[in-house]
Structure 1
């Protein structure tokens, strides 16, 4: 328990990076609140202690993290805050350099050092809170991290350097977490991990994602279960059986594929070919008709020729992915790709990213227009002026399509699930009208 002072401690936790970092921040907040701290998340309100949870994935993320640390270090020097702590991926990867270059920070902690951070704040790590979590997302959806770390050896990726080897959470623990979230009003679970489809190999000696999905589908109150960050090589196809047969598992799969050229995939050490990838995607669409597949690609990898990029463009045109994002290659030290020359100019990387997204924009518009007239279930996320804004089962928050419903039709609340008919479409959004007014 922390020492009581005349000035109560108020903590502001700042989260940078991905949803996996967000879950880590939520666990930090949960532990601090259990130790009687008043905690805010990404708040502009006054706080005397700041914890910055950093990202160290690519250059832009690292730059944002460093700039945020410097900003709060400056505030500390002006007396606006008393204590500044840094945790997360950047701190895990560059702790020694950060301590030397930004000494104003009171202490740095890695990705797996929550007990140490709590100890520095004179707080106890409460094991009895495992399974419980304060959520910073809207109360109707939450992320559920099913494992930590990654055993893959992708040449461009520094995540194993920051997160370590793959460690699965037991199914029973995850079910307890889901039950706790459901009691808080969560209807949608987004399963996340560095590598989702590796789940269970360390604990159960088999890929146990299908068994986990079945167990989570039994949690009362959970309506949608969504899969993020699957790896295509040796994908457990039984997942599609569960998806096809279990209504709570969304017909949605986030599966970063990275490239469509066999030569580039080999240099990336992705352990899969384009033909094998195409076979997997076709199988998914046959087993789960209407499945929405989200993927991401990496352009500008060392040695990527115009011909290899053209192969990627052809791959995207052929497969017609429902959702797609593009990253530009970032030359990361201590990865095997760093040994190669970063020989694709920055302007070429940007131009290729734009060209790929232009192709996807056309595909997305055509796919969305084909849905006009269809009936869908919409989960309401917010009200925006004259519209309620929500998502279908084919869309994850913040990165995918949204559905706009006229607000004059009915009174709806955030978290309501309603039936609607699609009446119009743009490249990245749908318009719809309510079918069953509430």
Structure 2
């Protein structure tokens, strides 16, 4: 590559919305370091794969993505030869657009969790970089392209990096620890990119994740996440509010508040009611029409927080509750609290505050020691809970967790059989719940508009990308409602729509009115966005997973 030529990098993100935030931090750091961030990996000099290390399926997906990125080196005109010091192009000028990447780098949770072990088992990756490499990612990536093969880190329990007691994790204690997604204006990178946050959006959709904290202090027997994400660290509220304003200026209309455990927010700031104070402030951010906290721990959902979550204007009446099971016996073995009685009471209190409440959860089937009676308690709970969406996972051992050593392991075939039974039950129950929403008027944030005259987005009870979607028939669409006054609906508009049908968890609705119009990023409130995102014709229901 000639001197002064801009190097190109593509980012591939696996896993959860927290990883999406981390990828956007990496994009900002790379851009500040002179890299051009591109969407097409075949035009990139380097591909950075932000991996997931949560469960076996996620690990496999991450490894497959790394292998796929490595396979792009063999694209026409991009033949390469591997050397002990890196990757050397053969027969093609270094840096030719479209030649395919010359380096593949693993970052993210899988890289942090396994480090040198991953590097040894996956030579296709030219570097495996942990979280501590993020602040200097631009220079490290340049070194890889220049032929260096940096030594992968030796993983360590990141909980050991901070004081055990949350109140001792003040800013001074956290200052020397890399916590992905917590960049602020105080950093050199933020000043270099002239932004209040270390972040560069990788898409222009109206929904954006906003990280409010990282890490977790709970010790669930099945979960390895705290070991590589670390202890709970809350972001200062002023940093979160500054990022919310920045995201609104970038065109975001809904903020999905992400973390490992959102209900713990503020305990290390000396204020257990910090989230209750923060939510109304976020909802008041100019341009933001919906705030959606997710990753809520039922055992920490005190009544005052529940009330703020479900009665604050601009905060979605929605609960993302990690129940994991309903049998008190199984939950104790998991080192969790509660049971079906407690959880049903929580849902009843929530629906008393917000009758149209949206509620989702995840459950683990086949945990060590789970009996047929425990399984029946779980299915009975699901039948009564009336949840809008449920993720169903079969138990599998995660190295380094307490559950690995528990007695009473079930046969893998039995676990899969129970998982399939619960998944089938959940599919029926959530479809029936969606059918009962027919006749309701819902508020839909428009994310896409098709050429066929339909708008697609999520209602307040639907978390984007996980809980289904709503197809809104616009005036003039075949079979749609009559004409309406005013400009056409655009991406980013918040619209009212009357539900007329359902397919699975997806809804079909007729347009009623525009509640809040989008605006062009960077323009004053009230200036309407003039163009809609090009769409495509898709089935009215079942358009989104």
TM-score (norm 1): 0.92
Instruction: Confirm whether residue 171 of structure 1 aligns to residue 237 of structure 2.
Output: yes
Cα offsets for 1:149-205 (capped at 9, x unmatched): 111100000101110111100100000000000111111000010011000000124
Alignment partner of 1:415 is 2:492: yes
Task: Tell me which residue corresponds to 1:50.
Answer: 47
Matched with 1:133 is 199
Q: CA deviation at 1:325?
A: 1.4
Q: 5 Å matches for 1:215-230?
A: 215-230=281-296
How big is the shift at 1:365? 2.9
**Residue of 22, 25, 32 corresponding to 2:30:** 32
- Is the counterpart of residue 374 in structure 1 residue 437 in structure 2? no
Structure 2 segments unaligned to the other structure (5+ residues): 74-79, 82-88, 90-99, 144-186, 478-482, 518-545
The match for 1:68 is: 65
Matched, 1:101 2:101: no
What is the root-mean-square deviation of aligned Cα atoms in Å?
Answer: 2.3
Q: Which of the residues 288, 291, 304 maps onto 1:238? A: 304
Mapping for residues 175-186 of structure 1, pairs under 5 Å: 175-186=241-252
* Alpha-carbon spacing, 1:21–1:11, altered in 2? closer, same or farther (3 Å): same
| Corresponding residue for residue 324 of structure 1 | 390
Partner of 2:137: 117
Q: Could you tell me whether the CA contact under 8 Å between 1:10 and 1:48 is conserved in 2?
A: yes
Counting only pairs closer than 5 Å after superposition, residues 277-426 of structure 1 correspond to structure 2 as 277-340=343-406, 343-384=409-450, 386=452, 387-407=454-474, 408-409=476-477, 411-426=488-503
Match of 2:278 in 1: 212
- Tell me, yes or no, if the aligned pair for 1:55 and 1:62 is still in contact at 8 Å: yes
Check the 8 A contact 1:368/1:430 in 2, yes or no. yes
| Counterpart in the other structure of 1:15 | 13
How far the C-alpha of 1:148 sits from its partner, in A, is 0.9
Shift of the alpha carbon at 1:352? 1.9
C-alpha contact 1:378 1:403 (8 A) present in aligned 2: yes
- Give a deviation string over 1:16-45, Cα, whole Å, max 9, x none: 11111111001111121223311124x344
CA separation of 1:102 and 1:354: change in aligned 2, threshold 3 A? closer
Q: TM-score, normalised by structure 2?
A: 0.75
Tell me which moved more, 298-307 or 338-347: 338-347
Question: 1:421 touches 1:433 (CA, 8 Å); kept in 2?
Answer: yes
Deviates more, 1:417-426 or 1:109-118: 109-118
Residue 5 of structure 1 and its aligned partner are, at CA, apart by 2.7
2:507 paired residue among 412, 430, 433 = 430
Q: Measure, in 2, the Cα distance between the counterparts of 1:72 and 1:223.
A: 38
Aligned residues: 435
